[in-house]
Chain A
Amino acid sequence: MSGGTPEGPGPDLGSGGEPAGAVEFHERQEAVGRDVRTEEMVFNMGPQHPATHGVLRVAVKTDGEYVRALQPHVGNIHRCAEKIGESVAFYQWIPYLDRMDYLAAMCNEHIGCMAIERLGGIEVPERAEYIRVIVAEIQRILSHLMAIGVYGLDLGAFTPFLHQFRERERGMDLLDHLSGGRLLYHYVRIGGVKRDFSQDWLDELEAFLSSVETRLPEYNTLLLHNRIFQARTFDVGIIDPAMAAAWGVTGPGLRAAGVDWDLRRDAPYSIYDRFDFEVPVGHSGIGGQVGDCFQRHWVRVREVEESLKIIRQALAQMPEGPVMGRVPKGFKPPAGEVYMRGENPRGELAVYMVSAGKSDKAWRARCRGPSFSNIACITEVAEGMLIADLVALIGSMDIVLGEVDR
């Protein structure tokens, strides 16, 4: 019974306990606590990380491999695209729209031009409308091919990534021969398109379409029907319709959640109401759960098939005629505002513009980008998943950081 007692609340050792022993025990407890304590660790995933698709930075709080909380930080390649829209002439803003979502430049141009045309009341010739739809759908195929391949890369399968480049390269050559640019085209102009198709180009297009048709099942063998791929994506990152509505998720993410909504069919713009195509919607029959990563991938694969259908129909229906409408020199739309939305490969892209009148510049230009809303959703979905699943989730959202940051 010699020696002092430990300060503070110590373990109850009973009446027979030696105080000296108690000190030792207490120290041992502390030592054990010091050695095996677990701690949450904060990772900075990105901006330089192979799986963040650009310069997204996600601060991830992890417990071992489990994600406890995360916060995406955006803005690393903010390029003032909207502000530029207010300081250049209307027709000069179109190339900036290309650079926002650089994997879907044609779709962006299409929607942007439609907004300006509606503002100025400009008529577009019918043939130009068909050409716009065809190039936008080619762009959708290219964008989805990229998304499919990169998703394989995110999950550790390198080969599909390079295989899709083979087809994508053909498609980019196609648009290159049409517009002079491989990635950023500035082909769709206010009032129409830059130039008409040639017969050679149409032959090239047919070769491209049939090659995509034959290769797509090959990609599905490597990814969609692969057991490991399914094990990685089934039941991972489920976004339900309520969550999608709350976060503003659109595009394949929304359709995979089981919501039958596609602006091309449900709020037809341009001439999309003239085509007969299905809108793929996630359902439990294809495997996994509605709204998981697998279903998002599946929706993209199906959308490629539907785009092929639309292009074939458009080619069959296309009338002869001019491809450029009458656009007044020094185009100054009357005062007013316009909100034009359309289905980008990644979801709903909307362009909002206000014209003060008597000016060739927009008074206000604003975009609603699909990637920005889609990526916000991961904060809620990712909690409690493994880091490997987080990569699968971000990959399945198919974001383009150029458009998130604008």
Chain B
Amino acid sequence: MQFWLDELRTSVDWIGALPAGFVYTIGIVVVCKIVLVYASLLAGETVWLERRISGRMQARIGPNRVGPQGLLQFLADGVKLLAKEDIIPATADKPIFLAAPIIVFVGAFAAFAVLPFGDGLVAADMNVGLFVILSLTSIEVVGIIMAGWASNSKWAVLGAMREVAQMISYELPLGISALSIVILAGTMNLTDIVHQQEGPIWNWYVFRGPFAFASFFIFFTAALAALKRAPFDLPEAESELVAGFHTEYTGFRFAVFFLAEYAAMILFAILTSVLFLGGWSPGFPVDLSEGLARWAGALILFLKTIFLLGVMIWIRWSLPRFRIDRVMYLCYKVLLPLSVVCAVGIALQVLFAITGLGTDSAFGRWLGGM
């Protein structure tokens, strides 16, 4: 973002005349607005995408009336939810009940600040970008627990309880498989991670050896659990817990939960493509001018995001739900050991490649060459 603002200050005279701090402050606000609106629109359209894809899968049509092909359906739904009565249960813990959707919303949308949408198209290009994203998405969980507890409903409490149990089990494989990429890249800066994957398609981290390949699937599975998507939608399991933690929420507060869920979906789709699928790199060398390459790259990242969203939707409408103990089993006994093995494997891979150790054995040469 600073890059853009600096360019603006040198190229436009009257902006250059303004004090630097003022330009940066205004710049931050404007960029935040742009990112927020972009993320919200994308979340709204993801709802449409999900409804259309699930319609196709279920031998029905899906929303196609509001706007071309029903693209504006989310606006109609939003207006409907705004017009609903805003109910706060009499026995609810009011301040916490009111704060919970805000925290969930902030947790889901704040992470977009460090998320790159393309080369240089990032609000805050942080050195610890990946770390910030993983921490901010964990904040969302706090909001959900607050919502479940403050509702003073038994179903909501059970939903929140399941969310806690699920969170502590998926966070470990999620973090460790992301860590393997950090080991491979040597940085947590998401832009730099993508720069290292540019060039031919086998430069993408998902294709850098068996460990990285396995890490991709571990990360994606744990991300599904983090997103509370089927088959891991236990906290809001409709047929078991009515609506789980948001049973008592109505109207716009419910819409906020809903929007945050889809925003988190986009977040993890972009993050997965940035970490494993080469981000905005098309997978083959291209010769374009810098400006054109930037926007073409943004489009490529967008398409990869849509693809991953499609896979998530596909999984959701195909599979039954896990049972809570099965989720624990999967996360602790399958994904966690696997992700640790992958992290160690990738660490060896990097060690061999950097130090030239193990070049005397075939295995070492193979691993180091990845």
Binding site for B on A (CB under 8 A): 41, 43, 49-51, 64-65, 152-159, 162-163, 166, 222-223, 226, 228-229, 231-232, 386-389, 391
Contacts and interface: CB of A to CB of B under 8 A. Distances in A.
B58 A228 contact: no
B319 A231 contact: no
B318 interface: yes
Contacts of A163: 58-59
Interface in B192-242: 230-231, 233-234, 237-242
B154 A386 contact: no
A41 B231 contact: no
B60 A156 contact: no
Interface string B142-157: 0000000000001100
Contacts of B325: 386
A389 B233 CA distance: 16
Contacts of B234: 388
A338 to B, nearest CB: 41
B154 A41 contact: yes
B94 interface: no
Contact of B59 (A41, A65, A157, A166): A166
A228 B324 contact: no
Contacts of B241: 387
Residue in A43, A226, A228, A391 whose Cβ sees the most chain B Cβ within 10 Å:
A228
B239 A153 contact: yes
Contacts, number: 81
10 contacts: A43-B154, A154-B239, A156-B237, A156-B321, A158-B317, A228-B320, A228-B321, A229-B320, A231-B323, A388-B323
B322 interface: yes
B323 A391 contact: no
B145 to A, nearest CB: 16
B317 A156 contact: no
Nearest to A162: B58
A280 to B, nearest CB: 22
Size class of B's contact patch? 20 to 34
Contacts of A228: 231, 319-322, 326
Given A41-B154, A162-B60, A231-B326, A387 B320 contact: no
B334 interface: no
Contact of B320 (A152, A166, A386, A389): A152
B248 to A, nearest CB: 14
Given A156-B230, A156-B231, 16 more contacts: A49-B242, A50-B238, A50-B242, A65-B158, A65-B162, A65-B324, A156-B320, A158-B54, A222-B318, A228-B321, A231-B322, A386-B324, A387-B158, A388-B240, A388-B323, A389-B323
Task: Return the 9 tightest CB-CB contacts between A and B, nearest first.
Answer: A156-B321, A157-B320, A162-B58, A155-B320, A51-B239, A388-B323, A156-B320, A228-B320, A154-B239
B41 interface: no
B98 interface: no
Interface string B33-63: 0000000000000000000001001111000
A391 B239 contact: yes
A232 B320 contact: yes
Given A156-B233, A228-B321, A387 B240 contact: yes
Contacts of A155: 239, 320-321
A68 B158 CA distance: 16
A39 to B, nearest CB: 12
Nearest to A158: B317
B113 to A, nearest CB: 34
Contacts of B321: 155-157, 228, 232, 388
Contacts of A391: 239-240
Given A65-B324, A156-B231, A388 B237 contact: yes
Interface string B323-340: 111100000000000000
B324 A388 contact: yes
B323 A232 contact: yes
Contacts of B58: 158-159, 162-163
A64 B66 CA distance: 44
Contacts of B237: 156, 388
Contacts of A41: 154
Contacts of B324: 65, 386, 388
Interface string B103-124: 0000000000000000000000
Contacts of A389: 323
B161 A64 contact: yes
Contacts of A64: 161
A387 B231 CA distance: 17
A153 to B, nearest CB: 6
Interface string B233-270: 11001111110000000000000000000000000000
A154 B321 CA distance: 9
Interface in B275-329: 317-326
B236 to A, nearest CB: 11
A164 to B, nearest CB: 10
Interface string B162-185: 100000000000000000000000
A169 to B, nearest CB: 10
Contacts of B230: 156
Nearest to B162: A65
A64 B230 CA distance: 22
Contacts of A49: 242
A162 B59 contact: yes
B319 A226 contact: yes
A70 to B, nearest CB: 14
Nearest to A51: B239
Interface string B50-80: 0000100111100000000000000000000
